[in-house]
Chain A
């Protein structure tokens, strides 16, 4: 794991002191809200419906047990005993008091964390594949490059006032678990003919009111030239991105308006001016950062694990959890485990301080002191011996953390919605709760299999509803909450935007509508076919017919 050097420590401490002064001046009336707002946003502090909200970055989604305990401590001491994990590898505190936020930031700095650039029109927290370093299909650890991007982009003077926010995601694997095409810049690693790693650069992706999947503007960029090329992309955007209309200010609109090929030429021209200069990464520096992400001291184990096979045979609940929540690790005898933060009827992404402490303990006991955050709002222990899986599952169960639903219909991504968020038009959480309660039957959920269902409370699409197999968007219709369904979205390397199936449903119809969609799928599917494949094969009509059958009868 990356450790701060003296410069990092001094920088973050200085930043906390600055913000402490800014808060004091605001509370003394020396700064107006208009003057203070951009300052607080630069430190991740929003003002929401009922209270402030502090968004803390978890760079590339990697946490130590010490850091997780600090997050728990902050939840307990300064908030209401819980935190909300987001789709962009952040944690949000929902009830901090303004006067205490500098103290929270000082506590975070103690464990090398901060809230810088979790808001504002700057380069946001760079996200990465949550299975970085352990996935069997990985070419190289993307966190090395995410950390380099973090250091380059932090308070970058040229890119602190961009036309709009800017999000970068990195994956080191061909199977995309970081929704790279849904980002302003997505970086996907490949090898060249000589086996050297480099990045495919995808630009202009995003969701929101204009969902667009990013276009590849460069097939292969050598890793040592990453920063100069990113700087060229940002420069073109900074100069040409629209500042007159907030809805047209993201880079996706620029790329769409000039065309990906022309945009690529502009970037290339800019890059020729600045490449082969100070931004090239020296091999020594790459190696220095990479060393922080060296694998932990794994034991040499065999692939076979009779103890695990026995436990699976002996307990159907454990078998179900192992089937849905355990993934293949690149090392024999090890496994990657998803800790679901989606109990049926619970609030997606929420964890109590006690649960966070428990996960920290279990990471130390079973997982080389490492925890990951996924964009699905779940936690991951990436390095668990197969022989420990049963004991881990038993411990997770004591804390309500052993729900066997990773990747299933109740593994719902949901934003805070109108219950908390200032931008929302409709509530997300109660809808997620009702849908997940509808699918509590384990056998039925297994029968349905892999299916993504995401719920956003407004068109900003924080919950990625556009790229869900079943996407739900909350809309306001004359003061009432309605929910529009999209089908066919995909978030992986074959990313696709879902299509609206028809008129929206009210809050009491939407759960039945989801069940109807599932029923149609089960009727239509061929053996072992996943929901998305059935939908792609049969198209929207069978779903539409069933969903609106009663309308036609009228």
Chain B
């Protein structure tokens, strides 16, 4: 297993669709810094299984795993799509998440 394989779970919050991340405390946080990450495929599967159990409630919709990198210990989303999900639209900055 490659050492740079790190994944976390994201979803959209049911009430407003906002992007959220699964934390180690089984909460859903708007901050990617709070995400729990999995360093290998087995851990990722376990993490995702937990997310699916939590999704059975009515807090979030559509959980999935995505790749991150760690920079100075902070999780950085990989790929344009996940970067934009994390930061909000790159246009019309007055309309960004806030």
Within 8 A of B (CB), among A474-490: 476, 479-481
Of the 9-residue stretches A25-33, A181-189, A256-264, A389-397, which lies at the interface with chain B?
A25-33
0 or 1 for each of A240-256: is its CB under 8 Å from B? (1 = yes): 00000000000000000
Q: A32-B56, A476-B80 are in contact. Are A99 and B91 (CB under 8 A)?
A: no
Within 8 A of A (CB), among B1-50: 12, 14-19
CA distance A517 to B79 in the complex (A): 31
Instruction: Assess the B80–A33 pair: CB atoms within 8 A.
Output: no
Q: A27-B58, A28-B58 are in contact. Are A98 and B14 (CB under 8 A)?
A: yes
CB-CB under 8 A from A28, the residues of chain B are 58
Instruction: Assess the B62–A419 pair: CB atoms within 8 A.
Output: no
| Residue ID in chain B nearest A416 by CB atoms | B89
Instruction: Assess the B80–A26 pair: CB atoms within 8 A.
Output: no
- 4 nearest interchain CB pairs? A29-B58, A419-B89, A51-B17, A52-B17
Instruction: Assess the B85–A50 pair: CB atoms within 8 A.
Output: yes
**Contact with B16, one of A98, A347, A418, A420 (Cβ below 8 angstroms):** A98
At the interface, yes or no: A80 with Cβ under 8 Å from chain B?
yes
Give me the interface of B with A, judged by CB distance under 8 Å: 12, 14-19, 55-58, 61-62, 78-81, 84-85, 88-92, 95, 97
Instruction: Assess the B16–A33 pair: CB atoms within 8 A.
Output: no
| Residue ID in chain A nearest B19 by CB atoms | A50
Q: Is the contact region of chain B dominated by helix, strand, or loop, or is it mixed?
A: loop
CB-CB under 8 A from A427, the residues of chain B are 80, 84, 90-91
CB-CB under 8 A from B15, the residues of chain A are 27, 97-99
Instruction: Assess the A50–B97 pair: CB atoms within 8 A.
Output: yes
CB-CB under 8 A from B55, the residues of chain A are 33
Interface centre among B19, B56, B62, B81, by most chain A C-beta atoms within 10 angstroms, is: B81
| Residue ID in chain B nearest A37 by CB atoms | B61
CA distance A28 to B14 in the complex (A): 11
CB-CB under 8 A from B84, the residues of chain A are 49, 418-419, 427
CB-CB under 8 A from B85, the residues of chain A are 49-50
Instruction: Assess the A430–B91 pair: CB atoms within 8 A.
Output: yes
**Contact with A52, one of B16, B91, B97 (Cβ below 8 angstroms):** B16
**Contact with A51, one of B18, B79, B91 (Cβ below 8 angstroms):** B18
CA distance A157 to B4 in the complex (A): 52
> Closest CB of chain A to B31's CB: distance in Å?
15
**Contact with B91, one of A47, A97, A419, A481 (Cβ below 8 angstroms):** A419
